Structure 1
């Protein structure tokens, strides 16, 4: 069978693995939305969707929730996305006609787009846009009975290049510690959500930390250019990126960012690496070729500003230039925190506040709390509230629209909110007062860990939110 420039059967297996992995990421994303939306975005959530759509025009945030919103409808949308994603993981579209494959892969993209565009700060992370951009390209990859279209494969390479090279450039332009190779003296300890091995990574010898940074620079600033080389060079470049992303997975929790980057890199592996037998493949229909070429032209046109951003001194990271997140900029950790601060919420059921008042601590599922508790492996799941609470000590403007509201939810023992907690010290009952304290955290030394069994050492710094109680109108007010 002869093949023209449009299709390449050597990527049949990698396309199949890519689609399965992407569907799994979609499934995780929809389950996260289903589990967390009531507390964060529901009608009685911290930042309700109905209030958002009432003040923001459609052109700025297109979404199916423009036409109707209720908590039940959101659950239906997220649940439908999860069902379709699970079906795609199982390969239900593999033997479908081309037009059916297009429609089935478009469905989770439309549904998740609708969630992200009304998700406000809870959906402001770079991996949301990355999932949408990847998901858009996946619509046009075609079913398993047809050879993968080369234009879409090249667009996936372009996406992977921007993810890696953008992350490398923001580091070089950002914190000086990336240039003197010392950033990982701090990062494993101060990253948003350390994992179960982060303590050990932090205590690696400093020369190894410098090797880590050098390896990161090599992978992000040199290797991406090899993606556009002939095989097997391009596949080797993608494999290096996959190994680097696996390293990041075991050293911290970054939601599905690393898994999704690995997924994109898989699409660059041809039959030299993905040596699987394939069935007889059909030629793509003419209308499909035209659609793919139009989409490729659109993506290339929209790539102008993201490409210019890569070489700009004022480089933006994790920014979308279009409302549908079709072509975006990426990057992370242009600056590194040297000191870790955490906000700790506490409550009491005392009737009055006195110097002898005993305060009990709320525990979150992912962020550091009790110093004796080992950091958890959370990724690729995403604990949105925990992540945003990491940002607040960096600048309290991150929490100005919802931090007070969170205290109110704790005062009312809101069931949806307490589901996002690891431990409620009041077992579902209402506390009388709630406050938030700012603590300085650091990993224990090896000697401290042997002596105490603790993973963290912490000390109070200052109040983050003075004591609150419920007012007559049911809102949180300052304690007398």
Structure 2
């Protein structure tokens, strides 16, 4: 007991009890959204008859290179069970279950969330290749060592959370500063709100802000990402002020677009630097168990050692974005939009019932849930939910190289009215029977001007560019639904 009482004062941060509560509950909410996304989308994208079957992937990739529960068994029943188990466990933690059990049981709950989601990411291939997947895993691993309401928050884990937030923000700032010249001359937001992967309901309005204000936005972004993050390591109240500024800038990004849970998780991490003791007082948790302190110190040492690679990447002139340096995604590098596209192109999938293609053939469009299609449809807000197929369609419009492996299977599924695939879309123009042919057309999209919006009611204006994929059909007929 004497050893524990000596250990507790320098190891813990009792003034951060509220910070930990907010951080853990919000992180559980992000986990819930991530597992819900897997439950709803994994079967069509990566299931047994998905576009990139995970079972095929695990047969050729060894466990040590991509650790996952699904190396044991990878079928729709197992992956679906794991996804819904993750939803239920995350919901339980969000409701406070991890604070109602012994410390060791709380750690087991967080570890299960982490390993279950790691299992999806490590077999998810291109559909799980986004930086926010690694960010959730890295934050989720650290959460295992945050403790629960029965003990004061560990100082080491809180500092590692700040170190993670620093790398997210400072890495993103460096990528921009070293990348596209428009970030340095403050003009990137002349284009970005219009050309970002998935605009939101306010993006049209953000795009039409005065250009001087766009330049202010970029300059403020540089301050928020290249200067403010250093404040996270200063004494209070500077650290809390820095965290508050990061939260405000992230909320601005939340309003302007759909970036899955990237912005929300960044906000969550900022609470590791917020001291609520002035409002709530200093809590009096029980002494820290010695075994817990040893485990936290060991985990912290591991993270410090592994941080060598992302730290080196930060100072490298050839900085890489969104890379994991180990198969467990424990310490990663982050960043986005080192370059900004000036022109938005969209792939529109169309089908027809006509067996013979002529100049007068009538084509009907498939509508996606999030990506632009119908020019009269206001972009919707989906973040923090991640529409994985919609995002890949944005990449596919940038270059055919991004379609490798999954685009042709997508067209094949549409030709047979595959139910799981159609659930990923907003509308199916052929509800009765499959189309005879499907094609893909490339359009240039731009936001309408204010005058065009008043005259036509449209949010977008589009111009035909070229045929992206010629009409294809299933040999021997149009097939049947599955």
1:16 to 21, 27, 32: 21
SS at match of 1:393: helix
Q: 1-side partners of 2:163 and 2:441: how far apart?
A: 45
- Paired residues of 2:434 and 2:478 also in contact (CA < 8 A): no
- Paired residues of 2:16 and 2:277 also in contact (CA < 8 A): no
Could you say which residue in structure 2 is the equivalent of 1:132?
137
Q: Is structure 2 residue 324 aligned with structure 1 residue 293?
A: no
Could you say which residue in structure 2 is the equivalent of 1:81?
86
Q: Is structure 2 residue 251 aligned with structure 1 residue 246?
A: yes
Q: 1-side partners of 2:283 and 2:160: how far apart?
A: 25
Q: CA deviation at 1:394?
A: 1.3
Q: 1-side partners of 2:331 and 2:355: how far apart?
A: 55
Q: Is structure 2 residue 221 aligned with structure 1 residue 178?
A: no
Q: CA deviation at 1:271?
A: 2.1
Q: 1-side partners of 2:449 and 2:366: how far apart?
A: 26
SS at match of 1:208: helix
Q: CA deviation at 1:57?
A: 1.5
In the superposition, the TM-score normalised over structure 2's length comes to: 0.97
Could you say which residue in structure 1 is the equivalent of 2:174?
169
Q: 1-side partners of 2:229 and 2:432: how far apart?
A: 51
- 1:463-478 equivalent positions in 2, closer than 5 A: 463-472=467-476
Could you say which residue in structure 2 is the equivalent of 1:478?
none
Count of matched residue pairs: 475
Q: Is structure 2 residue 405 aligned with structure 1 residue 401?
A: yes
Q: Is structure 2 residue 308 aligned with structure 1 residue 304?
A: yes
Q: Is structure 2 residue 390 aligned with structure 1 residue 386?
A: yes
Q: CA deviation at 1:470?
A: 0.5
2:213 to 188, 196, 208: 208
Could you say which residue in structure 2 is the equivalent of 1:376?
380
1:420 to 401, 408, 424: 424
Q: CA deviation at 1:74?
A: 0.5
2:350 to 337, 346, 351: 346
- Paired residues of 2:437 and 2:478 also in contact (CA < 8 A): no
User: Which consecutive unaligned segments of at least 5 residues does structure 2 have?
Assistant: none
Q: CA deviation at 1:398?
A: 0.9
Q: 2-side partners of 1:364 and 1:470: how far apart?
A: 23
Q: 1:401 to 1:473 in 2, by over 3 A?
A: farther
Q: 1-side partners of 2:432 and 2:344: how far apart?
A: 30
SS at match of 1:267: helix
Could you say which residue in structure 2 is the equivalent of 1:155?
160
Q: CA deviation at 1:472?
A: 4.4
Could you say which residue in structure 2 is the equivalent of 1:335?
339
Q: 1-side partners of 2:325 and 2:157: how far apart?
A: 21
Q: 2-side partners of 1:298 and 1:199: how far apart?
A: 45
In the superposition, the TM-score normalised over structure 1's length comes to: 0.97
SS at match of 2:293: helix
SS at match of 1:93: helix
Q: CA deviation at 1:277?
A: 5.3
- 1:454-469 equivalent positions in 2, closer than 5 A: 454-469=458-473
User: Which consecutive unaligned segments of at least 5 residues does structure 1 have?
Assistant: 476-480
